[in-house]
Each structure stands twice: as structure tokens, then as C-alpha cells.
Structure 1
Amino acid sequence: MRIGYLTEAMPGRPGNEDFVLAGDGFAVVLDGATAGGAATGCVHDVAWLARTLGAELARILVARPELALREVLRAGVLALRELHGGGCDLENPDSPSATVAMVRWGSGRLDHLVLADSPVLVELAGGELLTVLDDRVEHLPGYDLATVSRLRNAPGGFWVAGTRPEAADEALTGSHPIGEVRRFAVLTDGVSRLVERYGWSWRQLLEVLEKAGPGELVAAVREAERADPPGRFAGKRHDDATVLFGRPDPADLES
């Protein structure tokens, strides 16, 4: 598999709350989710959570290749709970959390998992473009602290990876024969905003990514953000940006 990726902290902030890791047969992308000023009950920040959970997921993907991706995520959250230690309130609904997107290839297939708003794009050999996006957070009845806290990792709300292993059951998953996959991408919402805010199409995003690479795509995000009038969109003007691109090579098609 030919893989390229880039992660970049938002302008003006030295720390990056995104995390990306790729290895032989897998890729993991996480986006740490802040609780908007709510008390988290945790001594760790979201950057720690994204790094630690991402590393655990990679470890499990390597050690337990037979596990379905939802079970990989469940095992990762359980391991993360142990790593928190005794100083954290793991029952606090505002405990640090992260989106998760995973892609795994081998045994002739490409598997993917998405939990929350870090999408996976898969273009098939026939030209069909599949967009796997968990957009439940976009459909909440309100976005005040109390409503978001009540509906985080709750039925009828939205799900993220943090302290509740049952969140893994809510992840979106899929699988395709590797011979049917032309290319794929994994994005945090700091890059997918090119489509969601700035009028790009998913196919345009993939074309630029393949022809010019991840750096060009992140540069396009920053250019669009700088050109935007302040206050045009709710939420952060800038965000951490992570993008990963993959394309099968002949060895993958023979495996």
C-alpha cells in the first residue's frame, strides 16, 4: 500500500490534538474533542487522549489482526481506561474524548471504521465514491454545554471514543475487496471543511490529494480559512488538520 499523510496544528497553537499513525496493514486517525469549557474530571488533556488511544489502537491492530474493527476500538477504550489511573473520573460525560477513523488492509480486503466526524473516503475501481461520515453531532437539538453533555455517548445523541467501550458498537464500518479499491483517504474535520464549508466536492479533494499530496490540501484549507470573514461560520475559524491518502499497489492485489 502506498501511504502519505500530514498532520498540522491549527495556526497559533503549538500543540496538535489530532493524531495519525500508519503501519504495515493499517492506518489510524484521531481528532481530540474538547468539552467546550466543561469540567472533565480528568487530569489528562485531549491531546494525551488522542495520542494514547491512537497508540493503543495501533498496538491492538498489530497484535490481534483477527478482531473486527469495532472490537479493536472496544479493546482500545478498555485499555485507555486502565491508563487513566485513579485520579480521573471516568464516569464524567465530559471526560476527554476523540473521533476515530481506522483503515485496515490485508487478506484481500480493505476494512474501515468511523466514529464521529472524521470521514473515510473510498473510491472504487468503477468510479463510485463512498463517503463514510458519522454526522450525528450535526443533528443535536441544541449546542449549549448542558445539551451536548447530556447527549454525548447517549442514545439519540452522538458517540465519541473516550471512557465508554460501548461507543464502539455505534461506529460505522464497511469492507471492500482490495481489488475493487482504487484509492482512499482519511480526514479530520480540519480538512473535510473544504467540502463542508468551502464548496469543494469530495472527488475534487481526492484529485488534489493524489496529484499534489497532503501538504497541498492542508495549504488549501489554510488559504480558505484566512480568506473567510470572521464569524461567518459557527465554531473555530482554524482547526488542527490531518489527512491520509492510500492507494493499493500490485502487491496488495496479490495478497
Structure 2
Amino acid sequence: MRTPHAIAVLDGVSTLATTTPLGGWYADCLGMELAAGLTQAPNADLREILEGAIGAVTARRGLVPGESPAATVAIARLRDDQVEALVPADTPVVAIQRDGSVDELRDDRLADLITVQPRYREYQQRLKDGEGFGSGDHRRLLQELRAIQIDHVNRQVQGAYWVAEAVPEAAHHATVRSWPAADLTSLLVMTDGVSCGVEEYGLFSSWTAMAQDCDKNGPQSVCDAVHAHEETDPDGRQHPRYKVHDDKALVWARFSK
């Protein structure tokens, strides 16, 4: 999603059930509301814009907290001479700066909750042992991890994490940051299906290397490279993960000198 001065990347949260509405549908609905909010109130606080968008989708679609589909969101906006960004959940924004440094805006609360769970370690070990994604045990373990997530999503409890769902308050628990636009060479906004190319797979040696690939070949090339790498590991032995391929979206913004 883009407006004249803002971009947003949304990723529908995967579910194990086939019932509708699903995360992709919710991401589409929320994206349209975000575009309207960012256009109509270009100087409003990003958290307030996200809160309004979640509230609008919730009211218009009759969604119920805890029973609603959800989506991760990353928003970046150019306002005056500042680049502002907002992230709830695992859709990172990475700023490449002119002095060579890299600043990551990320929200690791979900990872902090899940990666310490015994079921997380068990499903990863089963994949390393060659059980594959299609086994009943793999699905069972993911269902158990999903139940833990549901108990902690958008709630004022120990270990909670926040995501765009049917709770507008989640917007005010997002992580935010801003940078002087003059200090940046580029900005990467992506789903975790792309960020794994650096963080889990090591396909790109750094965020700077990913940005350089975007500059040379375009962001679609990065997405294609991550997808192709996953094809070489179809059973998840080398890189244990929830499924063979996750959704991939990447926006690369280059700033003039």
C-alpha cells in the first residue's frame, strides 16, 4: 500500500484453519483504511492512524477480539524532513544511513514468547530429523504454539505481544522511530518472509547487502532469491520454519543525495 508520502507493508497472519475470513482478507481491508487515514490526515500520529484503521475495519466488518483474523503492519512516512516508521509485530523496517550504519526498527515480543516454548524446539528438531512439513506431528505442534499465541495476543498479560486485529488499542503498543531524511540512503520495509533472507538464511550478508541488491536488480530480485533458496530446502531440514514458503513483500525506498 502506498500514498504520496507513505508506504505500508501488511502480512496476513497465517492460520491453521481454512475458515474465512482469513489473514489476507483482513490485511487487504486494513490496508485500504490505512491508505485513507494517511491521505486524509498526513500529519497525524502514526499510532492514531493505525488505531483508527483497526477500529474502522472492526466496526464495518463486525469483528470480535480473539476471533478476528489479524495482520502484521509496518508503516513508513516522509513528513517534512523526517522519515517516521511504526511496527507492531514481526514486519521490520531497516534504515540504511549515510554514515554506513544500519538502524533496525523491529518488534520481537512474539519471538520472545514463542522461541522459549518447548513445543517450538520440538517442531524444529523434528524438521531437522527429516519429518517434513506434512506430518501430523508438525501440524499438532503448530496448533499448540498457536494456542499459546492466542492466550497472549493483544492482552495486558505477562509475555503479551500486540498485532493488528480487532483491538484498536494495539496500535499504541507499536514500536516507533524517526530519522532525518537527509541521513538516509535507503529504507527497507518487509515481511518476515523476506527478512529471513538476512536473519535466518544468511542469503544476504547484511541489510546493506540486501539494499545493494535492490539498487542493482530491484526488490523483486530479493524476493525471488529468498524463494529460490527455500526451494533447495523443501523439508525444512536446513532451516526449520513453519512452512516451505512464507508470504513475501518488500518495499525499497531510495533517498536522493
* Shorter-chain TM-score tier: 0.7 to 0.9
Residue of structure 2 in register with 1:230 after alignment: 235
1:242, distance to aligned residue in structure 2 (A)? 0.4
CA contact (8 A) 1:123 1:182 kept: yes
Amino acid at match of 1:98: A
What residue ranges of structure 2 are gaps of 5+ in the alignment?
Answer: 121-143
Residue of structure 2 in register with 1:10 after alignment: none
> Residues 184 and 167 (structure 1 numbering): CA distance in 2 closer, same or farther, change over 3 Å?
same
What residue ranges of structure 1 are gaps of 5+ in the alignment?
Answer: 1-20, 251-255
Q: Using the alignment, how far apart are the partners of 2:107 and 2:195 within structure 1? A: 12
Amino acid at match of 1:178: A
More strand by share: 1
Q: Deviations over 1:165-207 (max 9, x none)?
A: 1111111111111111111010001111101221132222111
Q: 1:118 aligns with which of 66, 72, 91?
A: 91
Q: Using the alignment, how far apart are the partners of 2:253 and 2:30 within structure 1? A: 22
Residue of structure 2 in register with 1:214 after alignment: 219
CA contact (8 A) 1:122 1:184 kept: yes
Q: Using the alignment, how far apart are the partners of 1:119 and 1:189 within structure 2? A: 7
Amino acid at match of 2:170: A
Structure having greater relative contact order (Cα 8 Å, sep ≥ 6) = 1
More helix by share: 2
> What is the number of equivalent residue pairs in this alignment?
223
- Map residues 30-69 of structure 1 onto 2, 5 A cutoff: 30-37=10-17, 44-69=21-46
> Residues 177 and 60 (structure 1 numbering): CA distance in 2 closer, same or farther, change over 3 Å?
same
Give aligned-pair identity as a percent: 35
SS of equivalent to 1:139: helix
Residue of structure 1 in register with 2:152 after alignment: 151
Q: Using the alignment, how far apart are the partners of 1:135 and 1:203 within structure 2? A: 21
SS of equivalent to 1:117: coil
Q: 2:7 aligns with which of 11, 27, 35?
A: 27
Name the TM-score, length of structure 2 as normaliser: 0.81
Q: Deviations over 1:14-42 (max 9, x none)?
A: xxxxxxx1221000110000233398xxx
CA RMSD in angstroms comes to 1.8
Stretches of 4+ moved more than 6 A in 1? none
CA contact (8 A) 1:94 1:149 kept: no
CA contact (8 A) 2:234 2:244 kept: no
Amino acid at match of 1:191: V
Name the TM-score, length of structure 1 as normaliser: 0.82
SS of equivalent to 2:176: strand
